[in-house]
A and B are shown apart, each in its own frame.
Chain A
């Protein structure tokens, strides 16, 4: 059980917790938080391979994680803006109620 295995198991655990949360909850904000957890798990994977992966001196893993953090931030902002807009329309944020395309 190398350190790489341990880190990958950690990221798998976090990913599956995020997946379960995103699928099980009906509150849209919690679904978004589950998605953020999945993004973090992917970032952990990148850092694990950057540090303990097959020996190479490149920093590509680090770069990917930096850009991943930036993209996750942008996606969280847009997602929460959408949630606020949906709330304004249907007065609650139950995901199951947002079933119609027309406002």
Chain B
């Protein structure tokens, strides 16, 4: 069990760290997609299969496409290497310090807390139970999230759209 968790952790953290460091933007995006797949593997390890498949479908199948399209549409130079600026070194050092200190604080808190003993088996996560929970206890949230998604995607389309007049030769 723990061996699997360590393997998943190495995959997830390793690809995330490499993604944040690389200069080539497309390699970064693809490594991040591997990291998201690692998160889905973690969900499978924890017994939440529905969420794992939803993670793959949404992140690896859809958000990755949006990210890659955005990377390709906003390229400055055609060989994808971002120039390293001198001022960014100080900022990078500051960021690493901040990240390390946040990590230190949270790790210390986690290790010093003792949680109540957990149940031996995963709670009932069958699709039927998830459906009942979504519709009965969290029905309002479901509707609100639906509205949020609609509004967000309409807004994204409006923001990103160009206002070229349509070509008269296009088929109507």
Interface residues of A (CB under 8 A from B): 2-10, 12-21, 23-27, 29-30, 32-34, 36-37, 40, 43-44, 47-48, 50-59, 62-63, 65-67, 69-78, 80-85, 87-88, 91-93
Contact = CB atoms under 8 A, between A and B. Distances in A.
B13 to A, nearest CB: 5
- Interface size range of chain B in the complex: 35 or more
Q: Which of B42, B148, B157 has the most CB of A within 10 A?
A: B42
Please classify the interface of chain B as helix (H, G, I), strand (E, B), loop, or mixed, using the class held by over half of its residues: helix
A26 B90 CA distance: 12
B20 A34 contact: yes
27 contacts: A2-B118, A5-B111, A6-B9, A7-B42, A9-B107, A9-B111, A10-B9, A12-B106, A13-B103, A16-B99, A16-B106, A17-B17, A19-B95, A24-B91, A33-B19, A37-B35, A54-B116, A55-B117, A58-B123, A62-B48, A62-B50, A63-B137, A65-B48, A66-B50, A76-B66, A83-B74, A91-B76
